[in-house]
Structure 1
Amino acid sequence: MVNFDDKRNFYRMLLNSEVKVTIIDDEINSEFVATCRDLSATGMAIEMSHPLEMGTRVKAKIESANASVQALDVKGKVVRIEEEATDLYLVGIAIDDMD
């Protein structure tokens, strides 16, 4: 669990939510579904079955479970990749634009 000894500027919320990811760096705008593990004001960590290249620009959308709350729709770039197990990667995305 993330604690206050973590030197981040923003607190990370632990999640286990489906996130739709679109790679905006490629010509076909590849899309896939992943799991958002945590989220802060400046980044997110997503769990997926394949790695992305460092610096890849992506769009990520998390639908809201409540109709009165707007979906989260962000753009950012891949800044971290960790292989946690066979076919399981944790990809860190730095958010630089929010719709």
Structure 2
Amino acid sequence: MIGEANKRAFHRMLINAELKVWVGQQSYSGLCKDLSATGMGISLKDVKLAIGDEIEVALSGEGVAPFSAKGKVVRCADAGDIDYAIEFSSLS
């Protein structure tokens, strides 16, 4: 049973789409695993980000409308590939 603390205001859409990530002037390729109105879950190989890092992302792929956003890292988990939760600050 889902408790009140675990209910999300915005549901996640599970996807596997190619993602381009910019941290400052450096760019990386990754995978968007899920997307909601306020953020996304991403996976990056061999890239170490820290909570609070400001990033830009661009999502593309078959069956996915082009999408770009600015945001910050709000959660990190290292399980093989490194997974991050990103909270959007602006969308375009």
- Regarding TM over 0.5, the answer is yes
1:40 maps to which residue?
A: 36
Count of residue correspondences? 88
Shift in alpha-carbon separation, 1:64–1:35, aligned structure 2, 3 A: closer
Q: What is the CA-CA distance between 1:51 and the residue it aligns to?
A: 2.5
Q: TM-score when scaled to structure 1?
A: 0.80
Question: Given the two structures, how large is their TM-score scaled by the length of structure 2?
Answer: 0.85
Match in the other structure for 1:9: 9
Distance, in Å, in 2 between the alignment partners of 1:37 and 1:17 is 7
Could you tell me which residue of structure 2 aligns to residue 93 of structure 1?
86
Q: Who is 2:20 aligned against?
A: 20
Provide the rounded CA distance (Å) in 2 between the counterparts of 1:64 and 1:19.
8
Are the aligned partners of 1:60 and 1:73 in contact in 2 as well (CA < 8 Å)?
yes
Residue in structure 2 matching 1:71, options 58, 66, 81: 66
Distance in structure 2 (CA, Å) of the matches to 1:41 and 1:84: 25
Structure 2 stretches of 5 or more lacking a match? none
Query: Following TM superposition, by how much is the alpha carbon of 1:37 offset from its aligned partner in structure 2, in angstroms?
Result: 0.4
**In 2, Cα distance between equivalents of 1:70 and 1:15:** 12
Q: Deviations over 1:49-86 (max 9, x none)?
A: 232011111110012536xx75101000000000112x
Structure 1 gap ranges (5+): none
Give the fraction of aligned pairs with identical amino acids, expressed as a percent. 33
SS of the aligned residue for 2:16 comes to strand
Aligned partner of residue 84 in structure 2, secondary structure: strand
> What is the RMSD computed on CA atoms of the aligned residues?
1.8
